[in-house]
Chains A and B, each alone.
Chain A
Amino acid sequence: MENKPSVWTSNRFWRRSATWVTGVSAVLLILLTVDSMSQMQMGTAKDIQNKVDKRIPSPLVINYKIDYQLSPKRGHEVPIIGGMDANGKSKYEEKEKFFGRDDYTEEEARALIHKGKLTIQAKNCMDCHTLLGNGAYYAPDLTKAWLDPAWNVIGQGYGGKEYAMAAFLQNPPAMAMHERKMPNLGITKDEAKAVVAYLKFMSAIDTNGFPRNFGKIKGAVNARK
């Protein structure tokens, strides 16, 4: 019996390999997911008190000034909440009025982003825009929409960019910025405020440096002005 069939053409060997490879991959994915979920929990008021940066910050960030700055340590841009200290870390001190207030309670802030996200889903925003880079490509990415230089300019005429954004959302064709107009989706005043709150909250999510060089390229946007 020297002519034993080679293991490389044995169905049994390959079936077992397939089962093992699949099993090991699935277990690894589950372990990584457990770790990722713990790192992706939404921050709380306590985190802000203790000046702890969370990947997904507390909804209370709507009370603070948000910025997106190069972190020399990480080699890409990171959200800075409430001003930056000497080490390039968030200080959670510099507040910023959002619809006239900078003292939203945790419940109020949570309620706003809850309604904001529901509205974003109810109006199918992702079938034109991209959020965190996912979605359609028919309209601009909203990941850092709150920080986009365009709103700083438009906002001046409205007493703040949150008012301009809310006005736009309630009747987009009236403030069309491009021939590819956003349709009127029947967004109410409350929904518009909540969506803007969500956009501000989303701009503070740590996206590992995406989008790269956001509005900061020397020799391009800023230098042309």
Chain B
Amino acid sequence: MQGNSVQLYEGQKLALKYFTVAIVLFGAQLLFGLIAAIQFLYPDFLFNTLDFSIARMVHINALVVWLLYAMIGAVYWLLPDEAGKEVVGVKLGNLAFYVLTAAVAVVVLVYLFIQVGPGTEMTTWLITEGREYIEAPRWADIGIVVVVLIFLYNVYATALTGKRSGILTVLMADLVALAGLYLAGMFYTDNIAVDQYWWWWVVHLWVEATWEVYVAAVGGYILIKTLNANRKVVEMWLWIEVAMMFGSGILGLGHHYFWIGTPEYWWEIGALFSALEPVPLVGLFVHVLYDWGKERGKGNTIKNVPAFAWLTVETFGNFLGAGVWGFMHTLPQINLYTHGTQWPAAHGHLAFFGAYVAIMIAAIYLAVQGKAGLKELKMTKAGWWAIALITVGVLFMTVALTLSAYVQTMVERGMYGATWEGYFVAQANQWFVQGLGWRLATGIMVIVGYVFLVYDLLTCTKKQPVEVSQVETAAATA
């Protein structure tokens, strides 16, 4: 790093582009989540203009897409650094970035202004596939596959010709699985049980297997960068976590196969393997705190306080949200009553935030530091407000949704046997409504935190202590 005239790899400049779009889409996710949360309490809000289905679709699609942008960005950021050479095919990578961004813009405009189509194949090709999380029309699916293939080519070509670290080896294996799984969601069948069977290959095997392994690899890189953690130790843990995550996550798929028309043996498989799923998350958690204590003992300072703080949120959030909240309703005996209620919503909010959002923000802070060429990045006041408001907001939101979920399960499933009457009685219960009220309030809290976050990402490098910059300049001139 050369002081203020920083030399970034071209791959890292491309990463900054991906991160910028990611943060914008993160804002869109929160905005449409807010609209959906308001509609739960005031159903006439934007009725017939932007109905709940559309608000919610944009909310969840923006989440998935911004996380993918941030994931690609983080790989482009660490790839030249780890490989010790420029990314191969950066021009192609840039082209892919613009193609992807244009496609995302078109898809969002179609979602917002055309919304739905007639019940024909043409709608699934041009407007929406209407399948939760992967609603994107098929033309966009094919485009995404092309863009991902370019990305994979760049990663492989760079890693194979440069230094191939353990972190890169894990990423190479993981990214090819992640890309391949998307193909499982790209077909149409009249058989809804088969449809959902393969749909879970995309959704579960991404979120509970390949994304988790991705996070472990990037988390290892962040530990090395922020704490000077011993690479050999980090990579050993990384392999242990890969074994545990794939060992539990791949067959943990079974916990989605209880009630969609699948054979009963998935009950036992799903219960056993999803019970194991929290185990690697504890490992990740212990690992971060252990490294922190060990490295601090040597008198090392944290090189990037915001990134490390977000990594700590990630380990807590991942364990609580994915591990604890997931396990709460994963056994078939419980899931029979909680499936399709607010339980998955409570679990989903904390799990996505804890497992993926927090670490992606950490990666973005690393890039902010790298771009400014600072040796150390301290936490600013705005940075603290951002992390506090967003984290506490999501935690409380999860508790609020859990309250609603509890009432819904008792009334709709327990008392009324899952009839529509039971559904509406539960939705009107004052405790249920109060939970949704708190969800809205905490949602606003998260949005305020997001504003602080954007402000901090844009300004934090200018607010670093003077001596750090001086040391930096001195080192650069020396």
Interface residues of A (CB under 8 A from B): 9-11, 14-15, 17-18, 21-22, 25-26, 28-29, 32-33, 35-37, 39-42, 55-56, 59, 110, 113-128, 130-138, 140-141, 144-145, 148-150, 177-181, 183-188, 191, 194-195, 202, 205-217, 220-221
Q: Which residues on B sit within 8 Å (CB–CB) of A119?
A: 118-119
Known contacts A29-B251, A137-B345, A210-B339; A123/B261 CB under 8 A: no
Known contacts A14-B236, A125-B130; A25/B123 CB under 8 A: no
Q: Is the CB of B196 within 8 A of A132?
A: yes
Question: Considering only CB atoms, which chain B residue lies closest to A110 in the complex?
Answer: B190
Which residue of A11, A25, A202 is within 8 Å of B239 (Cβ)? A11
B296-325 residues with Cβ-Cβ distance < 8 A to A are none
Measured CA separation A149–B422 after assembly (Å): 11
Known contacts A115-B119, A141-B418; A205/B192 CB under 8 A: yes
Binds A, one of B83-91, B97-105, B240-248: B240-248
Known contacts A14-B243, A128-B56, A212-B418; A133/B197 CB under 8 A: no
Binds A, one of B47-55, B285-293, B349-357: B47-55
Q: Which residues on B sit within 8 Å (CB–CB) of A131?
A: 192, 196
- B342 at interface by CB-CB < 8 Å: yes
Measured CA separation A43–B196 after assembly (Å): 17
Q: Is the CB of B250 within 8 A of A25?
A: yes
Question: Considering only CB atoms, which chain B residue lies closest to A42 in the complex?
Answer: B191
**Would you give the shortest CB distance from B51 to chain A, in whole angstroms?**
5
Q: Is the CB of B123 within 8 A of A11?
A: no
At the interface, is chain B mostly helix, strand, loop or mixed?
helix
Q: Is the CB of A180 within 8 A of B43?
A: yes
Question: Considering only CB atoms, which chain B residue lies closest to A212 in the complex?
Answer: B336
**Would you give the shortest CB distance from B171 to chain A, in whole angstroms?**
13
- B419 at interface by CB-CB < 8 Å: yes
Known contacts A32-B269, A183-B51; A220/B415 CB under 8 A: yes
Q: Is the CB of A185 within 8 A of B246?
A: no
Most chain B beta-carbon contacts within 10 A, residue among A40, A110, A124, A136: A124
Question: Considering only CB atoms, which chain B residue lies closest to A22 in the complex?
Answer: B246
Question: Considering only CB atoms, which chain A residue lies closest to B237 in the complex?
Answer: A14
Which 10 pairs show the lowest CB-CB distances between chains A and B?
Answer: A119-B119, A121-B130, A211-B418, A210-B259, A14-B239, A133-B340, A127-B53, A213-B417, A25-B250, A122-B123
**Would you give the shortest CB distance from A38 to chain B, in whole angstroms?**
10
Most chain A beta-carbon contacts within 10 A, residue among B130, B339, B340, B345: B340
Measured CA separation A11–B230 after assembly (Å): 13
Q: Is the CB of A122 within 8 A of B120?
A: yes
Q: Which residues on A sit within 8 Å (CB–CB) of B422?
A: 221
**Would you give the shortest CB distance from B241 to chain A, in whole angstroms?**
8
Q: Is the CB of A22 within 8 A of B242?
A: yes
**Would you give the shortest CB distance from A117 to chain B, in whole angstroms?**
5
Which residue of B130, B191, B415 is within 8 Å of A126 (Cβ)? B130
Which residue of B188, B250, B413 is within 8 Å of A22 (Cβ)? B250
Q: Is the CB of A118 within 8 A of B116?
A: no
Measured CA separation A190–B191 after assembly (Å): 20
Q: List 26 interface pairs A-B (beta carbons < 8 Å), by A numbering.
A: A15-B239, A17-B240, A21-B246, A22-B250, A36-B266, A37-B197, A40-B193, A41-B191, A55-B261, A56-B193, A110-B190, A115-B119, A116-B119, A118-B123, A121-B123, A121-B130, A122-B116, A127-B53, A134-B196, A138-B52, A183-B48, A185-B116, A194-B119, A205-B193, A207-B259, A211-B336
Q: Is the CB of A133 within 8 A of B243?
A: no
Q: Which residues on A sit within 8 Å (CB–CB) of B30?
A: none
Q: Which residues on A sit within 8 Å (CB–CB) of B240?
A: 14, 17-18
Q: Which residues on B sit within 8 Å (CB–CB) of A130?
A: 340
Measured CA separation A194–B190 after assembly (Å): 12
Q: Which residues on A sit within 8 Å (CB–CB) of B262?
A: 36, 39-40, 55, 208
Known contacts A127-B57, A191-B119; A214/B419 CB under 8 A: yes
Which residue of A121, A149, A183, A184 is within 8 Å of B419 (Cβ)? A149
Q: Is the CB of A150 within 8 A of B420?
A: yes
- Given contacts A126-B130, A138-B52, 10 further A-B pairs with CB under 8 A are A14-B243, A39-B262, A40-B194, A117-B192, A118-B120, A121-B129, A122-B124, A145-B420, A183-B51, A214-B419
- B384 at interface by CB-CB < 8 Å: no
- B153 at interface by CB-CB < 8 Å: no
Known contacts A18-B239, A133-B339, A183-B48; A208/B264 CB under 8 A: yes
Q: Which residues on B sit within 8 Å (CB–CB) of A115?
A: 119
- B456 at interface by CB-CB < 8 Å: no
Known contacts A17-B239, A22-B242; A56/B191 CB under 8 A: yes
**Would you give the shortest CB distance from B400 to chain A, in whole angstroms?**
14
Question: Considering only CB atoms, which chain A residue lies closest to B419 in the complex?
Answer: A215
**Would you give the shortest CB distance from A93 to chain B, in whole angstroms?**
24
Q: Which residues on B sit within 8 Å (CB–CB) of A212?
A: 336-337, 413, 417-418
Q: Is the CB of B47 within 8 A of A183?
A: yes
Q: Which residues on A sit within 8 Å (CB–CB) of B24?
A: none
**Would you give the shortest CB distance from A110 to chain B, in whole angstroms?**
7
- B128 at interface by CB-CB < 8 Å: yes
* In the complex, per-residue mask of B226-270: 1 if CB is within 8 Å of any chain A CB, else 0: 000000100110011011101100110100111111111111010
- B117 at interface by CB-CB < 8 Å: yes
Q: Which residues on B sit within 8 Å (CB–CB) of A124?
A: 53-54, 57, 115-116, 128, 130, 135
Known contacts A25-B250, A127-B53, A211-B418; A42/B190 CB under 8 A: yes
Known contacts A25-B250, A37-B194; A148/B243 CB under 8 A: no
**Would you give the shortest CB distance from B184 to chain A, in whole angstroms?**
10
Q: Which residues on B sit within 8 Å (CB–CB) of A179?
A: 43-44
Q: Which residues on B sit within 8 Å (CB–CB) of A127?
A: 52-54, 56-57, 130, 132, 135
Which residue of A33, A35, A184 is within 8 Å of B48 (Cβ)? A184
Q: Which residues on B sit within 8 Å (CB–CB) of A183?
A: 47-48, 51, 53
